[in-house]
Structure formats: C-alpha cells, structure tokens
Structure 1
Amino acid sequence: MKKLLTLLFIVYSVLSFSQDRKEIGNTFIKTLLIDKNTEKAHSYFDSSVAGLIPVEQLKSITEQLQEQLGGLKNILEVNHEGNTYYYYSEFEKTKLDVQLTFSDSNKLMGFFLIPHKTFEKPDEKTTLKIKSDAIELNGTLLIPPSNDKKRLVVFVHGSGANDRDETIGENKPFKDIAEYLLANGIASYRYDKRTYTYPEAFNEKSTVEEETINDAVNAADYFKNNADFKGYQIIILGHSQGAYLMPEIAKKAQVSKYIFMAGNARPLQDLLVEQYEYLHAMDPAKVSAQAVQEVKKQVAFLNSSQFNLNSPASELPLGQSAAYWQYLKNYNQLNEVKKIKAPMFFAQGGKDYQVTEKDFNLWKNELKNNKAAVFKLYPSLSHLFIVGSGKPSPKDYETKGKVDEQFLKDLTQFIL
C-alpha cells in the first residue's frame, strides 16, 4: 500500500563520530540519491546486515526511486525528534521526507521515505509519553477544558510509518478528528506509530502485534488503569489497518466502544492484487503490467502450500517477512468481530479505492443481527474521509482537505 514509502534499510555511517548528525545525513543522502555512488553508499551498511542487501539490490532500489520520484533537486529543511532526523526533500515529481534514525554513537540505523511531517512547537500540556513494552509512545493528549463528557478516544493508524496525525501530504486526518472531538467535549490520545519513531525495532520476526496491536492495547490500558481517568469511557478508533486489526485489539483491550474507519474485511493480500490492477488500469505508466504480474505471483506463492516461515521476504508481497504474513494468514477478522460485545461504528467512503464497499458490506452482513453495530456509507469520501472528486486515485492524498463534517457529526453522536 505504501511499499515505496516504507522501504527500510539498516545502515550506519563510516564518517567520524565527531561529525554533526545533520551533516552525516546530508552526506549519506547526497552519496545515494545525487551522486548515485551505490558502492560507496553500500559501504555505510553495518557488516551484520550488508549481506542482506547486496550492492545490486541497493542499485535497483535507487533506480526505482528515480523512476517514481524523479531526481533529488534540493533539501528544503531539516528537523529532528531525538535520534530521528527528517530531511524535507524536493524531488522532480514530489516532495517527501528522507527520515534517518541515528544510534547513540552517530551510526545511521534507519532510512525511510515518508510523507512530509510538519513540525510545530510541542505544547507540554498536551504531550504524553506512554510506556508500551520496551518503548515509549510519543503522543498528544487532548482533554476538554470544560464540558468534559468523560469519553476518551485512542487512535490507531493505518499501514505504513504514520505519525500521530496520520499525516499524508498536507492532510492530517487524525488531527482533524481529535480537534473536532475536543470541541465537543471528548478527550483523545493519538501517538506516533512505533515504526515511525523506532523503525529499527521492527525486524523479520515482527508481526502486526509488534507493529500495531500491542501499542493500541497498552495505550488503552494506560487510561483504563489511571486514576485520573476514573469514570471515563475508553473508546478505540482504528483507521484502515487499525480497523482491520480491531477485532484482535478488542480481544485484548476490552473497552467501551470501537470505531472502524475503512477497515478491510478481506485478506490483505487480496486487496493488494485488486489495488495493483486498479492503479494499472488508471495509469499503466506508473503501475506496469509487470508490477501487477509480480504481485500476483507473490500472492499466489503466499497462498500456496510452498509458503512457510523460512520463505524469503523477497518472494512475498510488500517485501514483508514470512512471520508477518503467517500471522495475517492465521487471522480471520470476520470470525473475531462477532465476539465483540461492545457497540461498534463502521464508516466507509464511497470514493476509496484502497478499501471498498465490498469490505463494508462484508462487515455489515457478518453483523446483520447485531443491534449494537452501526454502519454508515459516505459516497463522496476518500480513504482519508475527505470529500473527493472524480475517479478515486493516489492524487486524492495530494489534495489538501479536511475530514468531512457529516462524518464527524455521526462519529461524535456514536461516541456520546
């Protein structure tokens, strides 16, 4: 879904530790993306992982970036949060952040291409870190200064390395929703996804439990067990992947209500094939017939008896590990959702090509006898619940907009 933007390399700098981190990052980016000196760039890899990404593979990845993004023209600004630096970069076809994560000894540990993250001065009154397993979630807690309805919503992201606002281009759907809820007396907590803040913590043994489920459960438990929030109803809102995994989250978190925004009811690999075919039909120059055949081949292998935990990630969809896919193959969200006893709200945009009405209707049919399940279809809304125009496409994410007010009203009504 965001394969290009979530390519992760584990690398380190061979430069002097006395060098400024900002300059180390600048030099690495220049070497890889401007000079295109693949062999020199490959020398930045730690010896323990260099063999996993041969020079030729690194060269292939760089060529793919060149084809899809165009050449790197300029680094517009550099920001950082702790050990993670964001190089806001202008390519010929788009603008993205090159995200680099450093170790304490100034070695580069992570390399992502992600949608641009805007930096605002943090308000200490709203900043809240929550311990989740071995990491800390960096998040924003909003509590109504008056008219507090004693409801608190925990946000769970879609796929990819998302920040707390679920920033995509100039759109920030989670921030839009949280601020609307605040104005209506509803508290919320949204946090940076662990693959955004700690990309190095995600490895070939990691599954969606480490990526999404555990952090959502730990955040909900924090508020359930905190005396300051005694008497609050805790509600979990999941978007896309967050909604897809909601039945598993609900099994462990057990809160008052659950919100499903554009969650897929079908297996993820089935959606991938559908998405590739859709995008190819829309623009064969951007998604080639070869790319469609490749993802079909990977999905066929995943669904075959040949797939096992030793299968290489290179032969699997999205380049994810066998452990990651094995978990999802064993997961049946339609079976699990029937076990939820609390009220549920299912929302779906009609102009969403990533998760479609097929999924919405599957949820609806599975829960047709559940009077506590509410279903709302919004014909004009995109995957981000922003009004779209024309045929749904990736350009929807590039167009700045706000989360639809009618959806926000319905969401607030359900919460209250």
Structure 2
Amino acid sequence: MKKILSLVLFFTALFSFAQNRKEIGDQFIKLLFIDNNTEKAYTFFDPEMAKHVTPEVFKTLPEQLEGQFGNFKNVIEVNNESDAYYYYSEFEKEKLDILINFTDSNKIIGFFLVPHKNFDKPDDKTALRIKSDSIELKGTLLEPEENNQKKLVILVHGSGASDRDETIGENKPFRDIAEYLLKNGISSYRYDKRTNSNPEAFNEKSTVEQETINDAVNVSNYFKNNEKFKDYQIIILGHSLGAYLMPKIAEKANASKYVFMAGNARPLQDVLLRQFEYLHSIDPSNVSEKDLQDMKKKVDFLNSKKFNLNTPKEELPMVLSAAYWKYLVDYKPLESVKLIKVPMFFAQGGMDYQVIAKDYVLWKEQLKNNKLAEFKFYQPLGHLFIKISGTPSPKNYEIKGNVDGGFLKDLVQFILK
C-alpha cells in the first residue's frame, strides 16, 4: 500500500459552513490539479498550515503526485465528517480520497491523499454497523433472497488501512468474493478495518488484537448471538495478515470453518525482509540498497535479545510500536493452528511475491495428518488471487482484474461441503 501523503497533521472539530467548505475544496482541487495554479491554491491555507509548507515546496506538489498516481481526472463524490471533507477522486493509476480539513474561518488546515473511505448511504439496505469494543464497524451484509444456504462468511483483511472491499488500486477482492458467494446462496459480511474508519482507535499500545483479532471475533459473536442467524454456519475468511492471525481468531471465535488466503506461516518481520530483498532485486530504484540494509538492521534487532518494550518504534520495522511487535514475536502460528478442530481451507497463489509458496508448504507440512485441512495451490494467481503475467511486482496492483473463478468455485465447494 502506498504511503499516505500528509502535509500537516493538525485537526480541528468544527461543524459549520458545510456548503461553503465543499465549494472551497472544489476550487482548491481545481486550482491545484487542473489549472496548476499553486500560487493561488496556496492562499487557501490557514497561517498555521503555511508554517509547515512553504510556497516553494507546495509548487512541486502537483508534479510529485502526478509521478505517483498519474494525472488527476475528476472528483467522483464528496463526503464529510465534521470538518473533514473527503473528495473521492480518480487519478490515472488509482482512485483515492483527497482529504481536506478546515478551520472555523474556512481556511485549509489539513491536506492528505488517503485510501478511499466508504460512507454508507441512507437508503443502502445492505449497510450494517456492528459494535466492536469502543467503536462501530461499518460494513456490508449481503444475504441471498433465494437459495439461502444458511452459511455466512466474515471477511478479515490483510495489512494496511483497508476498506470493506479490501480495495487496492482498481481491484476490490473482497467485493468480488462477497458477490460470488451471494450468487451461490451464501451470505457475507465485510467491514471497514478500524485503521481505515477509526485510525484514532489504534495507538502506540495497540497490537494485532486491537487491529484485527478482536474485531473479527466481535463480528462473529454478533451473528452467532443474533436470532436471525441462529441456524447459520459462521465461516471466517482471512486474507494475508488476516490469515496469518487466523489461529488466534479461532481461539475466541469458535466458527464452523476457517479459510486462509495467502497467509504467512513465518514471522511477519521475516516476510517483510524477504519482500524488500525481492523488490530490490527487480527494481533497485524503488527499494534501494540503503532501504534494504535499513530493513535488515531493524529485523535483526527485532529478532535479537536486545529488543524490548522500551525500544523506540523508529528502530523497528515499518515504524510500528514495540508493543505491536512484541505480540507478534511471541506468536507461534504453526503451533496455534494445530488447536483448530474444524475444517480449514488453505489457498495460495504461485505468483504471489508478498506471501510465498514456502509459507504454504509450512502450513501443509504442519497439518499433513489433519484430515480437516484442505490445500489448493493456484500457480497463475498473485496476492489478490487475480491472474497476473510477467514478473510479479507492485505494478500488478495497478492493473484492474477480478478474483479468479477457479479459486471462487473451490471456495464455494469448501463452504457448502
């Protein structure tokens, strides 16, 4: 996932001038991306913002963004929460939200490019919010109107601030899966990950329990305790990080079946280092030797006895907190998975450079005597279970595709079995 571009992290909490603010944001975006008039666009900034961004730096912004995302095309829709306005925008390479924050005098105090955030429409009958700890998860519940198989699949995201569709570029793998399940009489619930919808709920003390595990368990409990779904089988599907953490989810969720899509069995830090090594090998201009050595140094430190809960996050991979990494250092997925006593389905793509066949083999070897565990390897598929050609790379995510039909058929067969 591309890094969020932020010019200043300063937020206010004001509720007025809604219509004016929308129009101001429209004008600002037009000046910046269409007219290329950065000088006039700069006048929209609050003095506090201007302290952090000089006119000279701001002048180079359109060219930088064009290099990363391609040319700006148009604004698709505008949503807002309090003083935050989300201009869902299409660029050549992907669709993103242009997030603009305003002061009470309608000056811009925050400007970001962030992954798209879903806003439920008032007339959307599939929208469902589920309380999880201190927040409400916003999600989409799809239920078949006929041929209802009384099965419900909960979809659990991979790394990053994913929305409910697990949108990456033009691709929406979770939407593909949910809609295919619906055609086969299977219900599903997919939700915006809390780091997408409520980033304030994730802090320096948070671990993958707060990021992923607890929400998956709370959603499962919601449906198990709901009278409407009392006769349903609950199946939990995890992708990437969600699959890696599935043994921990299973400890608390007590679901009927579990699906592991491209889940790493090795420690996350080792997987990250291998990714850096691979990306450096195919494009040193994207991941430099310095980047690689920096990651290696951080992973070596994390794997050493020197690492402790007081270690500054700047010394750790991906600048994640010591608390976050301590949980994962102690986590042993290959041991935990042996405790699952219900059917499991492990799926892996052969063109996946993020989670590789080695992880798939480790799961398979660990569960070789477990007759409830099924394994399927799909040679042409990448990390999103979309067919790719050529050398696997981040560029694959910029190409629109759909989750492979062969995998989807096997998934349905496993669920209905």
Scaled by the length of structure 2, the TM-score of the pair is: 0.84
Match of 1:280 in 2: 280
Aligned partner of residue 338 in structure 1, secondary structure: helix
Match of 2:186 in 1: 186
Match of 1:80 in 2: 79
Distance 1:412 1:120 in 2: 28
Match of 2:319 in 1: 319
Which of these two proteins has the greater Rg computed from alpha carbons?
Answer: 2
Aligned partner of residue 4 in structure 1, secondary structure: coil
Aligned residue identity for 2:337: V
Match of 1:260 in 2: 260
Q: What pairs with 1:144-155 in structure 2 (closer than 5 Å)?
A: 144-155=144-155
Q: How far apart are 1:315 and its partner, in Å? A: 1.3
- The answer for unaligned runs of 5 or more in structure 2 is none
Are the counterparts in 2 of residues 204 and 321 from structure 1 also a CA contact under 8 Å?
yes
Aligned residue identity for 2:74: L
Aligned partner of residue 181 in structure 1, secondary structure: helix
Distance 2:28 2:89 in 1: 13
Do residues 177 (structure 1) and 188 (structure 2) align? no
Match of 1:378 in 2: 378
Match of 1:300 in 2: 300
Aligned residue identity for 2:270: D
Do residues 328 (structure 1) and 334 (structure 2) align? no
CA 1:107–1:193 in 2, change beyond 3 Å: closer, same or farther? farther
Aligned residue identity for 1:218: N
Do residues 4 (structure 1) and 3 (structure 2) align? yes
Q: What pairs with 1:117-266 in structure 2 (closer than 5 Å)?
A: 124-266=124-266
Aligned partner of residue 346 in structure 1, secondary structure: strand
Which segment drifts farther, 18-27 or 80-89?
18-27
Distance 1:18 1:325 in 2: 43
Match of 2:397 in 1: 397
Scaled by the length of structure 1, the TM-score of the pair is: 0.84
- Could you give the per-residue CA deviations for residues 392-416 of structure 1, whole angstroms, max 9, x where no partner exists? 1111111111111110010000000
Distance 2:376 2:250 in 1: 21
Q: How far apart are 1:7 and its partner, in Å? A: 7.8
Distance 2:241 2:6 in 1: 18
Aligned residue identity for 2:194: R
Distance 1:119 1:138 in 2: 9
Q: How far apart are 1:8 and its partner, in Å? A: 11
Aligned residue identity for 2:3: L
Aligned partner of residue 293 in structure 2, secondary structure: helix
Distance 1:224 1:109 in 2: 44
Q: How far apart are 1:74 and its partner, in Å? A: 4.6
Identity across matched positions, percent: 60
Distance 2:73 2:299 in 1: 37
Distance 1:122 1:277 in 2: 47
Distance 2:196 2:268 in 1: 21
Aligned residue identity for 1:355: V
Q: How far apart are 1:206 and its partner, in Å? A: 1.1
Q: How far apart are 1:309 and its partner, in Å? A: 1.4
Q: How far apart are 1:76 and its partner, in Å? A: 3.0
Distance 2:107 2:329 in 1: 36
Aligned partner of residue 250 in structure 2, secondary structure: helix
CA 1:336–1:103 in 2, change beyond 3 Å: closer, same or farther? farther
Aligned residues: 399
Q: How far apart are 1:5 and its partner, in Å? A: 4.3
CA 1:24–1:203 in 2, change beyond 3 Å: closer, same or farther? farther
Are the counterparts in 1 of residues 144 and 186 from structure 2 also a CA contact under 8 Å?
yes
Q: How far apart are 1:391 and its partner, in Å? A: 1.2
Match of 1:348 in 2: 348
Are the counterparts in 2 of residues 381 and 387 from structure 1 also a CA contact under 8 Å?
yes
Q: How far apart are 1:43 and its partner, in Å? A: 3.8
CA 1:67–1:379 in 2, change beyond 3 Å: closer, same or farther? same
Aligned residue identity for 1:172: K
Q: How far apart are 1:225 and its partner, in Å? A: 0.4
Are the counterparts in 1 of residues 262 and 347 from structure 2 also a CA contact under 8 Å?
yes
Distance 1:9 1:235 in 2: 42
Aligned residue identity for 1:190: R
Which segment drifts farther, 99-108 or 278-287?
99-108
CA 1:71–1:334 in 2, change beyond 3 Å: closer, same or farther? closer
Aligned partner of residue 220 in structure 1, secondary structure: helix
Distance 2:325 2:109 in 1: 24
CA 1:17–1:128 in 2, change beyond 3 Å: closer, same or farther? closer
CA 1:162–1:323 in 2, change beyond 3 Å: closer, same or farther? same
Match of 2:388 in 1: 388
Distance 2:306 2:26 in 1: 43
Aligned partner of residue 339 in structure 2, secondary structure: coil
